[in-house]
Amino acid sequence: MESLKIEGSHGAFFVPFVDFNANSGRCELSGESYLENTSEFYDKLLEWLETYMENIKKPIYFNIKLTYFNTSSSRAILDILNLLKSYEDDGGQIRVNWYYEEDDLDMEEEIEDYIFDTDLDINKKAF
């Protein structure tokens, strides 16, 4: 299985940086997410994770370092977190770390909502 890497970019839209490593199980999603076609972008990430879960079956260390995301990205992130929770419920090992700026109360509230919605243990890491 190949790793997935997408360089983030800023322009009319904001594409997040993605680095999903097939060898280590370390996955990073960072930057800003405001995309023209959100579902097309995030479907690639979901497909990669599903393939990893079905074929590799090793622990996943998922690090989120997003400073901004729009509503459609929020729904896609929820899909990823629900997939990770399903993997965990089926016996897979998951660790999710969400890094956010210490004074970003809106982001901290978003993370709390994701924890409530998914019942996934998300480690909040303020910096």
Count CB atoms within 10 A of the CB of residue 72. Answer: 16
Q: What is the pLDDT of residues 13-38, one digit of tens each?
A: 999 999 999 999 999 999 999 999 99
Name the nearest CA neighbour of 29 among 51, 11, 7. Answer: 7
Please identify which residue in the block is written with the tokens 């393939």.
51
The topology (CATH level 3) of 6-16+23-126 is Transcription Regulator spoIIAA (3.30.750)
Q: What is the pLDDT of residues 61-114, one digit of tens each?
A: 999 999 999 999 999 999 999 999 999 999 999 999 999 999 999 999 999 999
**pTM as predicted:** 0.96
